[in-house]
Amino acid sequence: MLKKILSVSGKPGLYKLISTSKNLNIVESLLDGKRVPVYLTEKVVALSDVSIYTTGEDVPLREVFQKIKEKENGEKTALGSKSSNGEVFRYFGEVLPNYDTEKVYASDIKKILSWYNILINSKIDFEQVEEANAEGPAGNEPENNEK
């Protein structure tokens, strides 16, 4: 499911890919449900393409979300953008003990926690594993089996 969940540079929150065309994508905000166009010139990242630096191999964001969900028993986390850097580093150290402390910044962790809370609020199943050949945000075929 994270292949269809996007972060759009300069726009708050997360967006679900609704449809694609030659010059733009139509996305729907997970915060307020409004649909907006996203042009090819805008920086868009699918959450399935994000991973976290660790002292070993990078960990996909989906796995980090799963670890947060286990820690929070499926509920939202109380930490967010207003939390102190010390709090978020301690919390993230419990979730992902081997994260690279020199490459992962407090702002990155706050964004991850914010995204996690948005996904939980929207009841998005981030535990679902994507197929390797599924179309991404720039693909031509949107899925019609969305929740």
Residue 114 lies in a domain: yes
Residue 21 lies in a domain: no
Q: pLDDT tens digit string along 127-138?
A: 666 554 444 444
**98: nearest Cα among 55, 57, 52:** 55
Q: For residue 143, what pLDDT is reported?
A: 40
Residue 59 lies in a domain: yes
Q: For residue 106, what pLDDT is reported?
A: 93
Q: How many CA atoms lie within 13 A of 4 on its CB side?
A: 27
Q: How far apart are CA 38 and CA 8, in angstroms?
A: 8
Residue 44 lies in a domain: no
- Domains identified in the chain, total number: 1
Among all chains, which residue has been given the structure tokens 């994260």? Answer: 99
CATH number at residue 70: 1.10.10.1650
Q: How many CB atoms lie within 10 A of CB 44?
A: 20
Q: For residue 146, what pLDDT is reported?
A: 38
Q: How far apart are CA 27 and CA 101, in angstroms?
A: 33
The arithmetic mean of pLDDT across residues 35-56, rounded, is 92
Residue 35 lies in a domain: no
Residue 42 tokens, joined = 């805008």
Residue 42 lies in a domain: no
Domain limits for position 91: 51-121
Residue 73 lies in a domain: yes
Residue 15 lies in a domain: no
Q: How far apart are CA 38 and CA 120, in angstroms?
A: 24
Q: pLDDT tens digit string along 46-104?
A: 999 999 999 999 999 999 999 999 999 888 988 877 888 999 999 999 999 999 999 99
Angle at 16 between CA 89 and CA 146, to 5 degrees: 120
